[in-house]
Amino acid sequence: PLVSMNEFLPKAKANKFAVGQFNMNNLEFAQAIMEAAIQEKSPFIYGVSEGAIKYMGLEFTVAIAKAAAEKSGLPIALHLDHGSSFEVAMQCIRAGFSSVMFDGSHYTLEENIRLTKEVVKAAHAMGVSVEGELGTIGGVEDDIAVDEAHAALAKPEEAIRFYEETGVDCLAIAVGTAHGMYKGEPKIHYDIIEEVAKAVPVPIVLHGGSGVPDDAIQQSIKAGVGKINVNTENQVACTDAIREVLNKDANVYDPRKYLTPARNAMIEVVRSKIKLFGSSNQA
List of residues contacting Zn ion (CB under 5 A): 207
Q: Return the HEC string of 144-196.
A: CCHHHHHHHCCCHHHHHHHHHHHCCCEEEECCCCECCCCCCCCCCCHHHHHHH
Which C-beta is closer to Zn ion: that of 207 or that of 263?
Answer: 207
Q: List active site positions.
A: 81
- Report if residue 156 touches ligand G3H, rule: CB under 6 A: no
Closer Cβ to ligand G3H, 84 or 260, answer by number: 84
H-state helical runs in 41-155: 50-56, 58-72, 86-95, 109-125, 146-152
Should residue 99 be labelled a site residue for ligand G3H when binding is judged by CB under 6 A? no
Q: Which of 231, 242, 270, 279 binds ligand G3H (CB under 6 A)?
A: 231
Binding mask 68-97 for ligand G3H (x = CB under 6 A): -------------xx---------------
Q: How far from the centroid of its chain's Cα atoms is residue 107's Cα?
A: 21
Least Å distance between CB 265 and ligand G3H? 16
Among positions 191-230, residues that touch ligand G3H (CB under 6 A) are 207-210, 229-230
Site for ligand G3H in 20-79 (CB under 6 A): 23, 47
Q: In angstroms, how far is the first alpha carbon of the chain from the final one?
A: 14
> Residue 105 and residue 138: Cα distance in Å, rounded?
12
Spatial CA neighbour of 101 closest among 126, 62, 125, 129:
129
Least spacing, CB of residue 248 vs ligand G3H, in Å:
27
Annotate 224-263 with b (16+ C-beta within 10 A) or e (fewer).
bbbbbbbbbbbbbbbeebbeeeeeeeeeeeeeeebbebbb
For Zn ion, the closer CB: 80 or 221: 80
Q: Cα separation of 261 and 93, whole Å?
A: 33
- For residue 170, the minimal CB distance to ligand G3H (Å) is 13
Q: Of 66 and 179, which has the nearer Cβ to ligand G3H?
A: 179
Would you tell me which residues interact with ligand G3H (CB under 6 A)? Answer: 23, 47, 81-82, 179-180, 207-210, 229-232
